[in-house]
A and B are shown apart, each in its own frame.
Chain A
Amino acid sequence: MIAHGNYDEQYERFHGAAHSAWSRSVTTTERRVAFVGCGYTDLTKKAELSEIELGLAACRMAAEDAGIDTADLDGINIQVHHYPPPDTAVIVAGLGMREVKWEEDGGIGVTSLARAAGALDAGVCDYIVVCKIMNTIAPVGTPLIDPDTGRVGGPGQFEVPYGLGYTMQRIGLTSRRWMDRYGITDEQVGWLCAMQRDGAQLNARSNFKDTLTVDDYLASRWIADPVRLLDCDYPVNGAYAYVLTRDDLARDLRHPPIHLLSWAIAPYDLLDHHFISEDLGQGPTPWLREMYADAAVRPDELDVWLLYDGFSFFALQWMESLGVVPRGESGNYCEGGTRIRFDGEHPVNPHGGQLSEGRMHGAGHVLEAIQQLRGTAGDRQAAKADHAVITTAFANTGSAAILGRKD
């Protein structure tokens, strides 16, 4: 019988054969690709504008910021998280795009950026706008219970009858295991939330601007212990957009280009969507290693960490997956807060993340990376911002990218 907390024994029993099937995916471009413009709407609790209006506003602002006419955009990616999506053709018409040489909707965070970069590198088009639109009115993922019989088929038949049906519960299961495995405490997670809020107070887009202490965090109500209300990101309506182009076209635009140096996308869903692997050893998780090689950047050269925080736990888990802290050490790194605060040695989500701005599925992390690398993040500007890392979704099944400001 396995003793409580005896993870070495469990490791031997279950993970004698390490994963070997890491597949290679494209992680960079031949010709360098850069962010040249960004735009955003307010993020509101209630839907005040239609999705089309939100998307148009963000895309127009991004083009304006880049210093190009929206008519010159010739590639577009629209991301929503529900069906039916808004009609991209209406957004194309609203922007007055003369030609659409590349259009591919969907993706989230880094995955959409990677597709856009690939299209630019291949010479398919010259100026791509990538736009995330969020609409909280859309249905959420709920258990598919037959309303007449109460029956649940499919994978849910083994879960819903036991009261398991929501993402926040699944995050609780993986987070409990990870916290127990490495001795990470509720207080350490609370430090991350508190320090992100310190930065959020200096971010006009943040929905939360009051001070948050670790005690406030600990007092917030349980959702699914170990998940508290303040561990969950905040649902909003709004849109964020970026314009990307190749370096050769970027030089004469309004802002210095912020380069998308490399990225990594988890090669496949690792065993199951909610599995936090315990057998990955030290250093970056294997599928992330090539990202560093392709960018010629080491983990210790990442100045600003924009870590996906749909749930607070993810941000800590990403530190370990990226190899910017030793595995199991993210809690200790956050404790006390001074290292991760916006004015610390490695600011984590100095804009406040999705816990403060709102749930933009990683788009807010991209926007903050661009602003930090440009040096335009105002009072929350990091002391050193040559390289930033952005991550999207789960730490073992998501995606990550390295951005840099230097030529």
Chain B
Amino acid sequence: MTMSEPSVSTRAGQERLKERGVIPLPEPDEVSAPYWDAAQNEELHLQHCSACDTIRHPPSPDCPECGDSSSDWRRVSGKGTVYSFIVDHRLMVPGFDEPYVVAQINPVEATRDTVRIVANIKGCDTSEVFIGMPVEVYFEVRAGMTIPQFKQDTES
């Protein structure tokens, strides 16, 4: 980044990222790596607490339900329901050019509705998305990285 680039902490900086065609991608870390690694193989894996036997997301060192730090990863069905959603029209985040859905999805394996995977619901009109809509995972290659996405589950 040159000195003349506005900081990304300003609106001007974010506009500049858009102009440059920057597409935001996840930066995996020690805790989250298994999630993104599984996505590269087109599988959805979620963190599972070994102590209280609950699925959680996003990944964290300690279980938000019981506080235990022992966990493993489970491959899940990829099916879920829409907890809530927006249709973004402001397009302030770089990498998005027309109105798009941001949804929070409760995976069917979760025991609390606070387990929510954020994704874009694609493959249907934005007006067709609703709370409680059955969805299933699919995988999208975005700027060379495979990330989980969700679409309407027509079999449910």
Tell whether A pairs with B. Answer: yes
In the complex the two chains form, is A143's CB within 8 Å of B84's CB? no
In the complex, chain A residues whose CB is within 8 Å of the CB of B83: 177
Taking the closest CB of chain B, its distance from the CB of A179, in whole angstroms, is 9
Instruction: Note all chain B residues with C-beta closer than 8 A to A155.
Output: 58
With A1-B156, A142-B13, A151-B25 as known contacts, state yes or no: A172 contacts B7, CB within 8 Å.
no
Inter-chain contact B130/A157, CB cutoff 8 Å: no
Selected from A14, A149, A164, A176, the residue in CB contact (under 8 A) with B93 is A164
Counting residue pairs across A and B whose Cβ atoms lie within 8 Å, the total is 160
Partner of A180, one of B27, B87, B131: B131
Q: Is the CB of B113 within 8 A of A164?
A: no
Chain B: CB-nearest residue to A161: B24
Distance between Cα atoms of A143 and B14 in the complex (Å): 8
A155–B23 CA distance with the chains assembled, in angstroms:
17
Contact B26 A152 (CB under 8 A): yes
Evaluate contact between A163 and B17: CB separation under 8 angstroms.
Answer: no
Tell me the complex Cα distance, A271–B108, Å. 20
CB of B132 within 8 A of CB of A147, answer no
Interface of B is mostly: loop
B104 → A minimal CB distance (Å): 6
| B13:A147 contact, CB within 8 angstroms | yes
Q: Per a CB cutoff under 8 Å, which of A1, A145, A224 touches B17?
A: A145
Contacting residues, chain A, for B132 (C-beta < 8 A): 2-6
Contacts of B131 in A (CB 8 A): 4-5, 176-177, 180
**How many Å lie between the Cα of A211 and that of B95 in the bound state?**
38
For B94, list chain A residues within 8 Å (CB): 145, 150
B 43-101 contacts with A by CB, 8 A: 57-58, 64, 81, 83-90, 92-96, 99-100
- Please judge, given known A-B contacts A1-B156, A5-B131, A173-B102, whether A272 and B86 are in contact too, CB under 8 Å: no
B86 touches A157 (CB 8 A): no
* Contacting pair B88 A147 (CB below 8 A): no
Residue of B whose beta carbon sits closest to that of A151: B27
Q: Is the Cβ of B114 less than 8 Å from the Cβ of A150?
A: no
With a CB–CB cut-off of 8 A, which chain A residues contact B89?
221-225
User: In this assembly, does A62 line the interface, its C-beta being within 8 Å of a C-beta of chain B?
Assistant: no
Partner of A224, one of B22, B64, B87, B117: B87
Q: Is the CB of B102 within 8 A of A161?
A: no
Decide if A10 touches B113 in the complex (CB within 8 Å): yes
The CA-CA distance from A176 to B96 in the complex, in Å, is 21
A182 smallest CB distance to B (angstroms): 12
Contact of A162 (CB < 8 Å), options: B17, B102, B113 = B102
- Whether B7 and A150, one on each chain, are in contact in the complex, defined by CB atoms closer than 8 angstroms, is no
10 example contacts (A-B, Cβ-Cβ < 8 A) are as follows A14-B112, A145-B14, A145-B22, A147-B1, A147-B22, A161-B23, A162-B120, A172-B86, A224-B102, A225-B88
A: residues with CB less than 8 A from B are 1-6, 10, 13-14, 139-140, 142-155, 157-166, 168-169, 172-174, 176-177, 180, 221-227, 271-272, 275
